[in-house]
Amino acid sequence: MTAMFDRVLVQTDDFSVPQEYARIADDNSDGAVVTFVGKVRDFNDGSVVTDLTLEHYPGMTEAVLQQITAQARERWPLNKVTIIHRVGTMALGEQIVFIGVTSAHRKAAFAACEFLIDFLKTKAPFWKLEAGDQGKNWVEAKDADEQAAQMWQQK
């Protein structure tokens, strides 16, 4: 078994997409690199959002991210996996989460990246507190996110 590259980080600092890309894109056995970046957008359910505060459960968060990474590796032949999720307060337009996956072929890399964000959103203990024109509100979990994660159980 080859040494696996898993980089799982929960941090307040921002991350650099070029740097994270360079870390995983240096292996010539990989033909595909897929990355996803989640950002703070200016609306949610019709209200204006000005910033977002992410709370998490230290310890459990990292454990869940490692577990979903292991699950992705069981389903697809992956080489490198990076998950970085920020916590604390983030302004409009700031980056929240980075997912990067490499594989020999694109289908595995695309599928694993989508699986990881779908599972992260429904399994990892993070909570969003939105600030905006309606004051501060805890974001409600969306049925659509739960359905997206459940779709993977049927595939």
Partner 1 sequence: MINVLFFAQVRELLGEGSIKVEASDATCTAEGLRAQLAAKDDKWAKVMASDKLLVAVNQTISSWDTPVEDGDEVAFFPPVTGG
Residues that bind partner 1 (CB under 8 A): 38, 54-57, 59-60, 63, 85, 96-97, 117, 120-129, 138-141, 145
Q: Which is nearer to partner 1, 76 or 126 (CB)?
A: 126
Q: Which is nearer to partner 1, 68 or 108 (CB)?
A: 68
DSSP letter, residue 61:
H
**Rounded CA separation 116/121 (Å):** 9
**Min. distance of Cβ 62 from partner 1 in angstroms?**
10
Question: How many residues make up the chain in this entry?
Answer: 155
**Min. distance of Cβ 114 from partner 1 in angstroms?**
12
* Token pair listed for 136: 């501060």
Q: Which is nearer to partner 1, 79 or 85 (CB)?
A: 85
**Min. distance of Cβ 145 from partner 1 in angstroms?**
8
**Any idea what the Cα angle at residue 149 is, between residues 99 and 138, rounded to 5°?**
80
Q: For the residues of 71-124, what is the DSSP string, one character each?
A: HHHHHS-EEEEEEEEE-EEEETT-EEEEEEEEESSHHHHHHHHHHHHHHHHHHS
Q: Which is nearer to partner 1, 23 or 137 (CB)?
A: 137
**Min. distance of Cβ 100 from partner 1 in angstroms?**
15
